Amino acid sequence: MKILIADDDADLRELVAFTLTQAGYLVIRCGDGPTALQRFEAELPNLVILDINMPGMSGFAVCEGIRRRSRVPVMMLTVRGEEEDLVRALGLGADDYLNKPFSPRTLLARIKALLRRAGTENTAPLAAGRVALDLEEHTVTLAGGAPVRLTPLELRLLQMLLANAGRAVNSERLLVQVWGHRSGGDRQLLKQLVHRLRQKIEADPSAPALLRTAAAGYKLMVD
């Protein structure tokens, strides 16, 4: 489940991203309006969170652009809390509206409600090829075998790779997704995590057939 968060407040953006990552969502971060639209088209997220005041293009304009393409749930964020903003946001097709500051618990509850209403909340295993990941149980099943228990870090790494099955995901993106608040992180940590995951999912971890090293990161092979 992918969520795009677009906000020019870097601290708030990272706090929201960390909260969502800890809850098991894949997070796409943006700091301005034009980038938000570009990432929306490239990533096709299941839900979008937009700040109203952003450089380059306002959240209103981004919401309008998204609505020309998709009915994906959109939540607007603002510090102003003015009725005029609320009316305009809903008129442009936003599904919900949250005033800053807000608690992580409130944000998560509103997100889950939006996903339920959209019929996209799904706790069933995320699967591709012979790999099935159960986010609720923190397990992975290979080709119908017995479920294998994963740590939270292993779960987030495999979730990101499975969501991009067959395509390379660069190390920087994996570091941010797995550790949430890291902007660069330590590649050695990622290398160690990949090593531990291979011990659980590969028939021969010394010659990995599933979790392969790619040019700038890693790739999950599911064919």
The Cα–Cα gap between 66 and 196 comes to 40
What is the pLDDT at residue 85?
A: 80
User: pTM for the whole thing?
Assistant: 0.67
What is the pLDDT at residue 95?
A: 92
What is the pLDDT at residue 213?
A: 93
Helices (H), 92-137: 104-118
What is the pLDDT at residue 41?
A: 92
Domain with CATH 3.40.50.2300 in the chain: 2-118
3-state secondary structure of 47: strand
Closest CA to 177 of 221, 120, 222, 218: 218
The Cα–Cα gap between 69 and 44 comes to 10
Helix (H), strand (E) counts: the chain: 8, 12
What is the pLDDT at residue 125?
A: 56
CATH 3.30.70.260 describes domain 2-118: no
What is the pLDDT at residue 19?
A: 86
Per-residue pLDDT tens listing for the chain (223 residues)? 889 999 999 888 888 988 888 787 888 999 999 999 999 998 889 999 999 989 999 999 999 999 998 999 999 988 766 778 878 888 999 999 888 888 888 999 999 899 888 876 655 557 888 888 887 788 999 987 899 999 888 988 898 898 888 889 888 888 877 775 454 457 888 899 999 999 999 999 999 999 999 878 999 998 7
Domain with CATH 1.10.10.10 in the chain: 126-220
* Topology, domain 126-220: Arc Repressor Mutant, subunit A (1.10.10)
What is the pLDDT at residue 86?
A: 79
